[in-house]
Structure 1
Amino acid sequence: MPYDQHLLERVEKVFKKKKMKPVQKNMIGGLCFMVNDKMVVGVTNDSLMVRIDPELYPMALKKKGCRHMDFNGRTLKGFLLVESIGLRSDKDLLYWIELSLNFNPKAKAAKKKSTPAKNRKL
């Protein structure tokens, strides 16, 4: 899973300034930052993955460098990719991270994979 190391460092710096320690997890083709067991943002290639309120989706797509996020051939509802042109300034990056953090309390956590029960002799 390749990702832009500089963008990753910029994202980490934003969370550090906010005094937050999100869990980093490899998923959805990149390195994701999890808050309350829910993805907030992630870095894949040179783009920022962002999870936002689906109601804000149409407005967000109008921003520079923003596009639908497709994963395994399907568009993920409420997830966007922001390319480097839309992340040039720290203010741009902060906008997307805060938009995602604002949605986080309302977002649903992904279903945890259940582990199969072990066979037991009675």
Structure 2
Amino acid sequence: MAFDEDNAQRIRTFLQYKEAGFFEKKMFGGLVFMVDNKMCCGTQLDKQTGENLLLCRIDDNAYADAIERDDIIPMSSSERPMKNYIFVTENGWQRNKDLEFWLQLCLDFNPLAKASKKK
């Protein structure tokens, strides 16, 4: 699993500050943070570029706005974008206020997000 521990700690610190009950899970080649047993956000290193990416699960309106930005990559599965999931490139979340912006969008959407089906 490839992710930057310093960036993972930045996410942990924010979630702890917000008193979001969370746990961590290694998946998608990186580290995701589960809030209320639902994927909320995560971090990973891009396999090709080595760039730190922030995985965000956000609502439809935030997704529509975000996808227009240069620092956003839609998350895809089998060549198809995954609804409500984006990657923010390093330029979009290096500053703490930018990271907090994205993570707050994730926390705001979390109560509305559907949980994965249990296997």
* Pairing 1:61–2:67 present: yes
Partner of 1:82 in structure 2? 88
How far apart, in 1, do the equivalents of 2:99 and 2:70 lie?
A: 12
TM-score w.r.t. length of structure 2 = 0.86
Which 5+ residue runs of structure 2 have no aligned equivalent? 46-51
TM-score w.r.t. length of structure 1 = 0.84
Identity of aligned residues (%): 36
**Larger Rg belongs to:** 1
Deviation at 1:64, TM superposition (A): 4.7
Partner of 2:106 in structure 1? 100
Which 5+ residue runs of structure 1 have no aligned equivalent? 114-122
How far apart, in 2, do the equivalents of 1:33 and 1:93 lie?
A: 14
Partner of 1:23 in structure 2? 23
How far apart, in 1, do the equivalents of 2:69 and 2:39 lie?
A: 21
Deviation at 1:73, TM superposition (A): 3.7
Runs of 4+ residues over 4 Å off in structure 1: none
What is the Cα-based RMSD across aligned positions, in Å? 1.5
**8 Å contact kept, 1:48–1:82:** yes
**8 Å contact kept, 2:21–2:36:** no
Q: Which secondary structure does the structure 2 equivalent of 1:2 belong to?
A: coil
How far apart, in 2, do the equivalents of 1:93 and 1:99 lie?
A: 10
Partner of 1:42 in structure 2? 42
* Pairing 1:6–2:14 present: no
Give a deviation string over 1:24-63, Cα, whole Å, max 9, x none.
0112222110111111101111111000112321201234
Q: Which amino acid aligns with 1:87?
A: W
